[in-house]
Amino acid sequence: MSEGNRMTDRTIRTVDDVLRLLDGLFAPEADRWTAGGAAWWDDFYTDRSQPVPFFADKPDENLVAYLDRRGDGPGRALDLGCGPGRNALHLAARGWEVDAVDLSPVAIAWAEERAREAGADVRFHRGDAFALAGTELTGPYDLVYDSGCFHHLPPHRRVSYLALLDDVLAPGGHFGLTCFAAGGMGSEEPDAALYRQSRLHGGLAYTPGSLRWIFSDLEEVELRRMRDEPPGSACFGEPFLHTALFARPRPAGHARPGPPAVPGGPDDRPPAPAVTDG
């Protein structure tokens, strides 16, 4: 090969090349977000008798509250990192057309088993949501829902996450999230320190301010701590998590009324008192 055509160790040309390089800065055992992390999750889901709160087949309390107050009827939903499928199954039971994706074949097998038992119709996809977006996961979705996947991503994969939302979330659609709350659970190390340590410490904690900033292209509908649901409740709820609901703005000229304001949410607060000099 002539010197002019020889490949070198120069591996970065595109944003995807940068993202893959940054993936590789983390220790292999820290990986919970690429195809290489599937084995870790498979192992995690193999023993179903573990006392893991989200192993119970109950939907998130905030998802149920959103569906209860939603003005529009059911639409198309995507459950990102669906695990054993508890939220996807609830959406299907309420008439939604649901795609649900997870890295872990063991989680998907468990979710499919639950769907068969419930007679629920959910399209499950095994694999990396970022790789499947635009091929198997085409959208547009009226709801993209994520319970516990986002906080396992390294900081640079927020770029992929926002691109995924941009690709698949319908204008006027909603994005619902539950993730570790700073002060509740998860690592509060700054982003740069995580790369120096090559670890994610089991998941990242987020403040309300960080979530607002990261998802600032969307409109905030609600952002609060998750309610603490007692063991006998029909819903899942743990106060060490934040729940957030955002709406994707419609293009100018296509405005339609959104869902009713969340009690105490940003659209339901009394106007701030006027600031006067002296």
Ligand X SMILES: C[S@@+](CC[C@H](N)C(=O)[O-])C[C@H]1O[C@@H](n2cnc3c(N)ncnc32)[C@H](O)[C@@H]1O
Interaction site with ligand X (CB under 6 A): 32-33, 41, 54, 81-84, 86, 101-104, 107, 128-130, 147-149, 152
Q: Which C-beta is closer to ligand X: that of 123 or that of 250?
A: 123
Cis peptide preceding 140, ω within 30 of 0:
yes
Nearer to ligand X, 15 or 255 (CB): 15
Nearest-angstrom CA–CA distance, 176 and 190: 24
Give DSSP secondary structure letters for 62-100: HHHHHHHH-SS---EEEEET-TT-HHHHHHHHTT-EEEE
- Give the nearest distance from C-beta 177 to ligand X in angstroms: 11
Nearer to ligand X, 104 or 243 (CB): 104
CA atoms of 193 and 131, how far apart (whole Å): 27
Candidates 152, 254, 156, 168; CA nearest to 204 is: 152
Closest distance to ligand X from the beta carbon of 265 (Å): 23
To the nearest whole angstrom, how small is the minimum distance from the Cβ of residue 173 to ligand X? 19
Task: Give the nearer residue to ligand X in terms of CB position, either 59 or 173.
Answer: 59
Kindly tell me which of 182 and 261 has the beta carbon lying closer to ligand X: 182
Dist. CA 206–CA 181, nearest whole Å: 5
- In 3D space, the residue among 173, 266, 260 whose CA is nearest the CA of residue 211 turns out to be 266
- Please choose, from the candidates 181, 185, 178, the residue with its C-alpha nearest in 3D space to the C-alpha of residue 63: 178
Minimum CB separation of residue 40 from ligand X in Å reads 8
Q: How far apart are the C-alpha atoms of 151 and 157, rounded to whole Å? A: 10
> What single-letter amino acid sits at 166?
D
Please state the closest distance from residue 271 (CB atom) to ligand X, in A: 37
CB of 152 to ligand X, least distance (A): 5
Nearest distance, CB of residue 61 and ligand X, angstroms: 12
Q: Please tell me the distance from the alpha carbon of residue 20 to that of residue 34, in angstroms, as a whole number.
A: 10
Looking at beta carbons only, is 76 or 86 nearer to ligand X?
86
Closer residue to ligand X (CB): 60 or 142: 60
| CB-facing half-sphere around the CA of 252: CA atoms within 13 A | 0
Q: Which two tokens stand for residue 100?
A: 């649900």
| Structure tokens belonging to residue 19 | 């993202």
Q: Give me the least distance between CB of 139 and ligand X, in Å please.
A: 16
197, two tokens:
């340590």
Q: Which is nearer to ligand X, 72 or 167 (CB)?
A: 167
Task: For residue 45, give every residue at least 6 positions away whose Cβ sits within 8 Å of its Cβ, in sequence order, or none.
Answer: 83, 84, 104, 106, 107, 110
